[in-house]
Structure 1
Amino acid sequence: MHESAPGLEDKAAEPVGKPRAERDVIAQGIIAAAIIMFVGHAAAVVPGVLQFINGHGEGPAPYLASALLLNTALIIFGWRRHNELVAEVKKGRRAEEEARKLAFTDPLTGSLNRRSIGPEVDKLVAEAEANDNAHAAIAFVMLDIDHFKQINDLNGHRAGDTLLVTMAERVRDVLPERSKLARLGGDEFACVIPYDRRDMVAIDRVASAIIATARQPFDVAGGQLAMSLSVGIACSSGLPANCKSPAEELLHMADMAMYHAKKNGRNRYDWFEPKMEQDLRSRAELENGILAGIARGEFLPFYEQQVDIETGALTGFEMLARWQSPHLGLVSPDKFIPVAEELGVIADLSESVIGQALRDARDWDSRLTLAVNISPVQMRDPWFAQRLLKLMAEANFPPERLEIEITEMCLSENIGLVRSLVTSLKNQGVTVSLDDFGVGYATLAQLRALPFDRIKIDRAFVSRLARSEDTAAVIATIASIGEGMNLPVTAEGIETETLRDSLLRIGTFKGQGYFYGKPETAEQVRTRLKSEARLAIDARAALAGMDEEVRAVNG
């Protein structure tokens, strides 16, 4: 397969203008005049020279010999001048051709570039539409190397360049005839493949072959690297009617399909579907909404009750973030937290909500705790402990009333850093819970190695408790582990009285779930606590009243 810039050969053959060698009248006039004079002088000089050689006569007149020599010099000068001009023109044409080639090709991989692939796509689509074969079509295949930045960062840009060149060579080898390969920029490539729409599977085979060949390791810098690709495919048969720019539309469609493949696991390919555009638009709106919502303070803390399931006594609340979006309404965290983590703004979002929760909770009864979830992304930050302590200081919130919950996933990443952060917070009085226990990451060794104060059973176990004896056995085992390691246990997801009663038969737990009430706003919690005289001001008043009674009795 050979690709070239569209129309490059034709343009290179066209004269840029009348060649300078053809327009140099002076040089051509000198040569012509010198030749004419040379012929005339030679006719006069040569006979005299021949007679002189034969011993007759005195030879040609000196002025005629001088004129002949001058004519000869002029012919040589004019010829050299002409040759120089011809060489200059050829050199200029080569430079112009090279510049034109560079303008339409990628200098690293030798493929077409973004500028040249557009006209080529439009040309091939027009040919397919004008073809007598009604089944002719064009497939636009977008390729993106997975985790290319990480490869560059870990191995250097030279290794990254080698990877790009290698990938381009491998892709060329599997593309059908008449296909075009272009590097769009960075680690993005595009293939344009003419095909018969009755044989869509042919494009599937090409896409699979591209992914398979990319997966083969290649040598670089004394070692080996491997890569994977996310691939998106769009075809000209799916273009809207009267499309003015097929190239731009196919690029847009293939790009969305490639993003869909990347989002769904990478190392795969997906065909474009119209639904993808709506999904992508919704995703973009969600991302923009999250970024704007953080700046406008739209993320708010809600509070779910935590109770002693044996006595039903309220022991505290777990803070749950909610997004009060002006366009989407109240959005649950499972919708926005993964997106915020991908955007890299989860720390800002979380800290703003935690700060508000600390200010809300400082007015509660001092015996009520506040539990907050910490994202695994935050636990990768070596300064997280200091930032959390700063938030508590700003809110004037006592550390011993705060409980942070970290998931088992954190233990599978950098347990050394997690241990350092947990130890720093515990030294200040903060308690630490291992959330979602039972998912599968944590081990007994890690529970012993890290100074946890509590473990929380994943709600998936609790929800199955009434339907499965095996689940009851698992929860009983977790309760035994907690008791043996002096770690109290909290059960999440208690939705019914039956679940609560089942837990009561197994052991001693703190519990939370809709059975005890849905998450409430700060104002709703304040109203509830005020009705129960469990705000800090009410507790202080009650203590003052008791002191007054004691003094009255003693008096």
Structure 2
Amino acid sequence: MMTVLGCVYNDHNLFMVVLAVLVCVLGSAVTLRLLRRGVRATGMQRFGWQFLAAVAGGGGVWATHFVGILAYRPSAPVSFDPVMTAFSLLIAIAGALAAFFLSGMRGGGRLFPALGGAFAGLSFSAMHYTGMMAYRVVGIVEWRVGYVAASVLFVMLCTAAAIGLVWRRHLGMRGFWTAVALLVAGIAGLHFTGMTALRIVPLLQEMPEHEVPAFLALAMTVAVVALIIIGTGLTSYLIDSNVRTGSQQQLRHLASHDTLTGLPNRAHFNEHLRDCLHDARQSQRQFAVVGIDLNRFKEINDTLGHATGDEALRIVARRMAQCLEDGEFLGRLGGDEFSGIKPCRTRDEALAFAERLAGVLARPMRLGTMEMTVGASIGVAMWPEDGRSLDELVNNADIAMYHAKHASLDTICFYDAGIGAAVRKRRQLADALRVALEHDELAVHYQVQKSLATGEISGYEALLRWTHPQLGPIPPVEFIQVAEENGLIAALGAWVLRRACRDAATWPPSYRIAVNVSAVQLMDVNLPQVVHSALVETGLPAHRLELELTETALVKDKGRSLHVMRQIKALGVGIALDDFGSGYSSLDTLRSFPFDKIKLDRTFVEGIGQDRQSKAIVRAVLALGKSLDIPILAEGIETDQQRAILQEEGCDEGQGFLLGRPSPLTALDGKARSDAA
């Protein structure tokens, strides 16, 4: 060891030695960094990193060797063989590439990295001694074999350890710089131990003076070229790192933000909510969670199309984001559902935040050629009074929002225990209804409809019934509304339609079946297809099916309703106007829509015997029906007097407890036979 150090100190130009070591350190660091980048790469990408590492590493080792040789001060004149010198560079790069490729082979655990590292050391040794063969000395050259063997063995051990470290899956900065130190030690040890092995007996007594500055200039040139090569590899690494960093930032943004609106998504919202909870606990401050559900988004989406619906979401998201103040947060949780977070000291601050959002959502927006207002139902829950855990808090804000929507309020609703109990009950009812629908636990009862003139059965109305396992019979007015609020009405309506058509197909050909259609179903463009499928599936002739619609359902979107009704009429299915007189009772409705029957609401039938006004209204409706050539069916007939008056006034058909109560299919056949008799 002392001999090697003595050789360095006594036989070398120390400035050029420092230059050689600097090139070695930079080259080793860049080489191992490039090689490290290939650890997680595969295929050609991994080979690309290995190639760059081989060029930087081979060039750096060769430059270290060449500058180190130029730093050596021989006692005899020297020159260089350019062919052998270039060949030594080729050996360094090709050998490094083969070694790095071997080190990256899979399936050998730590064996291949160690073998590849050892082969790299062997390649560097071959480069060194090939370069020494290009070193032409005017003298007698002697080699001490022991130092030669030591130099080769030392560099192989160091490079095997260094590259073995680099290929570890988890490598911190300390491990990386340890690998760099090992590689530098191996390369420097190879060169200076190899130079110690060299003994020159000069044939001339003096070294020409002009060669020293020339060697220094040549060493500087080689070092600069080497640094350019190393810098090229480093630049490639930095460019890739910047691109990778940018891509990772973009991926993180995409993972945490909604692609349509650019707002934070549910995952980002939950993360921010956890941070707010932590800050609130530290500062003993409150914060509010605001649930937002757009009221008329589905109408926009269904009427104008999904592209327009997406544009509406982008507009409202942009407007809400622009109205946020410091500390406020807004995210899109999915569909038309948004949620905000507001750190606050009082309930009034939370209310002001919610009112600001509500004001933005109440502003009209231009969608194509139309100007529309979307509006929203907003629910607010405060931490900690409305929930100490995040799940409870978010759920209670959702409950408050759900209550505002259920009450048809374009307003703000704060959570309280009473609201929570009512909403939870409705949700439990919705869950139970979903289960009942999936397991075919619902029933259809049928109420007879008769001709008042002859008493003959004209058909039946299908009435849905549900008996809850624990709560018993649930009124249709209650569970139908729950089905509409929870997106179950389409499946529920399709189930009733198929069941009613299937049962009616077994009745006498003169009997019709009437099925109610809700406003939500009427807004569904797929309703005609559902009706057609039910008729095909059950084999019921289209003229025996009659759909009953309320006027309230029609006025929500007259154009859309008329389009759907005309498609249904084209199938040959009849359409009846249900509960006439209880809603808008617009004559324009009768003029605009192709009804096959009008059903007079039961409220007028109840008072027909005592109330002159009810009787006059009934008489006017019957006269209107005759003038429009539309049959009239009176609902709610419960007494002989009511039946007699209606028959006297010329009412076509009747329905009510007097004529027959709703009954299941099993009891229907016997009743039909007795009525016919």
- TM-score class, shorter-chain normalisation, is 0.5 to 0.7
How far apart are residue 360 of structure 1 and its match? Answer: 5.7
CA distance in structure 1 between the aligned counterparts of 2:404 and 2:611, rounded to whole angstroms: 37
Paired residue secondary structure (2:399): helix
Amino acid in the other structure paired with 1:526: D
Partner of 1:320: 462
**Correspondence list, 1:54-93, <5 A:** 61-73=209-221, 76=224, 81=230, 85=234, 88=237, 92=241
2:65 match: none
Q: 1:493 aligns with which of 613, 625, 636?
A: 636
Q: 2:355 aligns with which of 197, 208, 224?
A: 208
User: Which structure has the greater CA radius of gyration?
Assistant: 2
Q: 2:370 & 2:210 partners in 1: Cα distance?
A: 81
User: Residue 292 of structure 2 contacts residue 376 of structure 2 at CA under 8 Å; is this kept in 1?
Assistant: yes
| Residue of structure 2 in register with 1:458 after alignment | 601
Relative contact order (alpha carbons < 8 A, sep ≥ 6): 1 or 2 greater? 1
Deviations 1:292-348 (A, max 9, x none): 54555444332334456688x464553332334462544443344455564321443
Superposition map of 1:240-389 within 5 A: 240=387, 243=389, 246=390, 248-265=391-408, 267-274=410-417, 282-294=425-437, 296-307=439-450, 313=455, 315-316=457-458, 318-325=460-467, 327=469, 328-338=471-481, 342-343=487-488, 344-359=490-505, 361-362=507-508, 369-375=511-517, 377=521, 381-383=527-529, 386-387=532-533
Q: What code does the residue aligned with 2:216 have?
A: L
TM-score between both structures, scaled by the size of structure 2: 0.57
Whichever residue aligns with residue 333 of structure 1, its letter is P
CA distance in 1, matches of 2:252, 2:325: 25
**1:373-452 aligned within 5 A:** 373-375=515-517, 377=521, 381-383=527-529, 386-387=532-533, 390=536, 393=539, 405-408=548-551, 409-410=553-554, 412=558, 413-415=560-562, 418-419=565-566, 421-422=568-569, 424-425=571-572, 433-439=576-582, 447=590
Q: Give how far 1:205 is off.
A: 1.8
SS at the partner of 2:344? strand
Shift of 1:137: 0.5
| Aligned counterparts of 1:449 and 1:118: Cα–Cα separation in 2 | 50
The corresponding residue for 1:513 is 656
CA-to-aligned-CA distance 1:16-44 (integer Å, 9 cap, x gap): 846979985599999x9xxxxxxxxxxxx
* Structure-2 change in CA distance of 1:281 and 1:356 (3 Å): farther
* 257 and 351 in structure 1: CA distance in 2 versus 1, 3 angstrom threshold: same
Q: CA deviation at 1:463?
A: 3.7
1:117 to 269, 293, 296: 269
Whether the aligned pair in 2 keeps the contact of 1:145 and 1:230 (CA below 8 Å) is: yes
Which secondary structure state, in structure 2, belongs to the residue aligned with residue 127 of structure 1?
helix
Within 5 Å, give how 1:158-169 maps onto structure 2: 164=313, 166-169=315-318
* Paired residue secondary structure (1:425): coil
CA–CA distance in structure 2, aligned partners of residues 153 and 86 of structure 1: 54
Name the TM-score, length of structure 1 as normaliser. Answer: 0.67
Which residue of the partner structure matches residue 50 of structure 1? none
Q: State the one-letter code of the partner of 1:320.
A: A
1:127 and 2:279 aligned: yes
CA distance in 2, matches of 1:508, 1:530: 24
Closer, same or farther in 2 for the Cα pair 1:304/1:206, shift >3 Å? same
Q: The residue matched to 1:302 in structure 2 has which SS?
A: strand
Q: Distance in 2 between matches of 1:475 and 1:296?
A: 43
Letter in 2 for 1:208: E
| Separation in 2, partners of 1:226, 1:232 | 19
Provide the C-alpha distance between the structure 2 equivalents of 1:466 and 1:440, rounded to a whole number of angstroms: 22
Q: Find the aligned partners of 1:435 and 1:403 in 2 and give their Cα distance.
A: 11
Residue in structure 2 matched with residue 36 of structure 1 by the alignment: none
Q: Does the CA-based 8 Å contact 1:152-1:159 persist in structure 2? A: yes
Aligned partners of 1:223 and 1:419: how far apart in 2? 25
Quick one: distance in 1 between partners of 2:264 and 2:357?
A: 18
Identity of aligned residues (%): 24
| Conserved? CA contact 2:437–2:492, under 8 Å | no
Equivalent position to 1:475, from 614, 618, 637:
618
Gaps of 5+ in 1: 1-14, 33-59, 535-555
In 2, the alpha carbon distance for the partners of 1:161 and 1:305 equals 47
Matched residue SS, 1:238: coil
**Is the contact between residue 219 and residue 225 of structure 1 (CA under 8 Å) also seen in structure 2?**
yes
Change (3 A) 1:206 1:504: same
- Equivalent residue in structure 2 for 1:237, among 384, 399, 402: 384
- Whole-Å Cα distance in 2 between the matches of residues 70 and 126 of structure 1? 64
Q: Secondary structure at the match of 2:384?
A: helix
How far did residue 474 of structure 1 move?
1.8
Checking the alignment, whether the CA contact within 8 Å between 2:606 and 2:637 is kept in structure 1 is yes
Structure 2 CA distance, aligned partners of 1:156 and 1:21?
Answer: 60
Residue 524 (structure 1) aligned with residue 675 (structure 2) = no
Over residues 365-396 of structure 1, what are the superposed CA-to-partner deviations in whole Å (9 max), with x where a residue is unaligned? x87x44413425379644567556546746xx
Give me the whole-angstrom Cα distance separating, in 1, the residues matched to 2:309 and 2:502.
45
Alignment of 1:189 onto 2:300: no
- Tell me which amino acid in the other structure corresponds to 1:106: H
Give the unaligned 5+ runs of structure 2.
Answer: 1-170, 189-207
In the aligned structure 2, how far is the partner of 1:175 from the partner of 1:189? 14
Distance 1:156 1:453 in 2: 31
Q: Which residue of 1 aligns with 2:21?
A: none
Q: Secondary structure at the match of 2:604?
A: helix
Find 2:325's aligned residue among 163, 173, 176. 176
Amino acid at match of 2:447: E
Deviations 1:29-62 (A, max 9, x none): 99x9xxxxxxxxxxxxxxxxxxxxxxxxxxx922
